[in-house]
Structure 1
């Protein structure tokens, strides 16, 4: 009895710590986003100065400086999206923007530029070949990565799932399960529109793979 109580306490504390960390992450993301919005005023100010100086026949702000400032803000926005989505693709997008900014705004040697281009090619290759949304495909269903974003799912498979249900497939299942007071475990089925999602594999409490199929009739919803 005592062991079960201690085990329950540990699980409870882990759950609360995880929830607290998630809320802290959201709080920090909001602060970063507010900072980006405030700093975006500088872009408008620089743009205004560019217009004024051009009208006077001078050009005090270089295009490299203007692009550097704008790209820094874009990288910040992508970083916030990465914190919100928690997907490998969002991490790669942040790295792509960071490397692109370095290549565009800093005129280094040819070797540095070549290394930057190779790095971008490698990131694209990783995104295309290593971050695979499909792991298994059958005649009536596909098994996808739980971290696949809703936007990527809609683009890849022609679904029309609103991101309000969740940013990722795993998030959709978690939100729907919590809404219906269901326990998240392998075999859990969630129906959303004409799509049925089933938890295929899990790593502890993390949904790793999801089996997705298209509903063809009402009987499929009960299956």
Structure 2
């Protein structure tokens, strides 16, 4: 505290206390009148035009493990074994297809009754029909036996009188190419020869491989 001697006249001496500080060292802030308007968040209004946000589809992918195939015996398939397996499967498919074709053909051709009448099934009329003897010969009979699964042990083919009183027959189309017997036949309501094919692919009770041998008796 220092005495101030340079005081103006008519005023007594006064002291300056530099350590004194007022109660509120900061100037008072001016009072602000409260606002009459309250602040509200802006309302959301949807757009009249539909908005599409792109979506990224995520899909979990598992790593693909490539393993070398193994044969049924457990050995690893190499290029040679794959080739052999492919040939085997192709041959097996061909044989199965041929067997199925032969089985289907057997279902369309049959020998009926005690006289072995050659009959063919018509898928259109859903019935069996005898084969007319017109233009028929033993070569066609031999081919018919082969188509039914018999070997080259053809026995006989002849025309006999039709006693079944059939009104529909299957006739041979001689102009057809080298196709199955079944594909050479067509429907006909008339048979000029009035006879049907009797076909025997084997000789019942006869061994075709047996041959007569001469025998010398005595001596």
Relative to the length of structure 2, the TM-score reads 0.24
Query: Which of the pair is proportionally richer in strand?
Result: 2
Larger radius of gyration: 2
